Amino acid sequence: MFSTTVTLLPPFTRLSGNLLPLAKALETALSIGPHFVSDNLVCVAMMDMRVHNADRDWLTLPEHTLRRSTSNHDDTDHAPAYVGGLNPMTAAQLLAHEFEPPDLILAPFLPTKGLAMIHAPRGIGKTHVAIGIACAVAAGTSFLRWNALKSRRVLLIDGEMSGAMLQERVARTIKSMDVEVEDNNFHVLAADMEIDGLPDLADTQTQAYFADVLAPAELVIVDNLSTLCPSLRENEADSWVPVQSWALNLRRQGKSVLFVHHAGKSGKQRGTSRKEDILNSVVALKHPPDYQASQGARFEVHYEKARGFCGADAEPFEAWLQNDQWSVDDITQADDDEVLVALSKQGCSVREIAERTGRSKSTVGRKIKHKVQP
């Protein structure tokens, strides 16, 4: 088979002259991954820009002839299954289909083949929680009010912390939980420990570089979206699509993904709400109304989305890290005026404050308005 290699350097806007139309023509095809083949063309994303046999008229290639290559970057055709047609089922076929029995990686909020998010304001303790979850799932034990019924292979992808600090936190977490974690069950991929950092998870052309390290994992923890998806425009719904597609692809492979994200000024997860559409659960960490900075990692855990669980399992609770030991308790239902104002400043709506404190919405609204007026 005749093959010619084209090597592209993103972003395409850096190109000029006759190469720019070529790059633009290929951009659509490249949007589903960095490695493609056709009968006459192999495209591989790399670090420089060279075009061999450039006298060929690549612009005559129809878009449908470009197909994703195999993960080992050879010339083997690997078209998506839907190229051969879609396969709807009758209701009877759906009911008769034997699915793998549902299971939970971390009860109650993270199922197998599940997608979830934990978000919180900066400095509240998101990474403490991410590491605690990683250790619990890898060891098959509990953390806070969450339970891992069996040990599973975990990959923690960290884009923020220094290697030394990450080492210290993992060591302290394992020691405080008094668990033994098998090496094969817990792997850490840290941006600080890679020479050129980590590829952009929001870029379809660089996602493939994660494939080998993702392969063994049953749970992938992404800590956090801001650092690991630098090209993600958080307020633009369409910008989330590449990350969403990546997560859904992992789910089809039988993996679960837990995103760690920042909260916005409203108290909700920062950016477009489209992030939440595919998620099973959304967990918010918030400081209690009476929180003081000297208390360190003390926060309330609230379920903003709870697909597949309810009742007592979905009740919020408080967690506090003191002397490397976590304690959990029910949330105190204080209802004085200062608490109402503090909850309002955290982004809670009047309805949410009324439900939490047991006071009427009219009373809550009046007290908040009175307190915040100069």
Contact by Cβ (8 Å): 268, 94: no
Instruction: Give the Cα separation of 139 and 279 in Å (integer).
Output: 25
Predicted confidence at residue 363, as pLDDT, reads 81
Q: What is the DSSP string of 303-352?
A: EEEETT--GGGG--EEEEEETTEEEEEPPP---SHHHHHHHHHTT--HHH
pLDDT 10s per residue in the chain (374 long)?
A: 334 444 444 444 444 445 555 555 555 445 444 444 443 444 443 333 333 344 444 444 444 333 333 344 444 456 788 888 899 999 999 999 998 887 999 999 999 999 999 999 999 999 999 999 999 999 999 999 999 999 999 999 999 999 999 999 999 999 999 988 888 999 999 999 999 999 999 999 999 999 999 999 999 999 999 999 999 999 899 999 999 999 999 999 999 999 999 998 888 899 999 999 999 999 999 998 888 899 999 999 999 999 999 999 999 999 999 999 999 999 876 667 777 777 787 777 888 777 677 677 788 788 777 765 54
Predicted confidence at residue 289, as pLDDT, reads 81
Side-by-side strand order, sheet with 42-45? 50-51, 5-8, 42-45, 35-37, 67-68
Closest to 43 (Cα-Cα) out of 24, 69, 18 = 69
Instruction: Give the Cα separation of 196 and 125 in Å (integer).
Output: 27
DSSP character for 102? Answer: P
In this prediction the pTM is 0.72
The domain limits of the chain are: 5-80, 104-329, 337-372
DSSP character for 115? Answer: E
Quote the distance between the C-alpha of residue 369 and its chain's center: 37
Q: Is 197 left (phi over 0), alpha (psi -120 to 50) or beta?
A: left
How large is the C-alpha radius of gyration of the chain? Answer: 24
The β-bridge partners of 51 are: 6
Instruction: Give the Cα separation of 103 and 291 in Å (integer).
Output: 36
Closest to 204 (Cα-Cα) out of 163, 253, 238 = 238
Contact by Cβ (8 Å): 214, 220: yes
Instruction: Give the Cα separation of 318 and 331 in Å (integer).
Output: 6
**Within 13 Å, how many C-alpha atoms sit on residue 26's CB side?**
31
Closest to 255 (Cα-Cα) out of 133, 104, 71, 114 = 114
Q: Which fold has domain 104-329?
A: Rossmann fold (3.40.50)
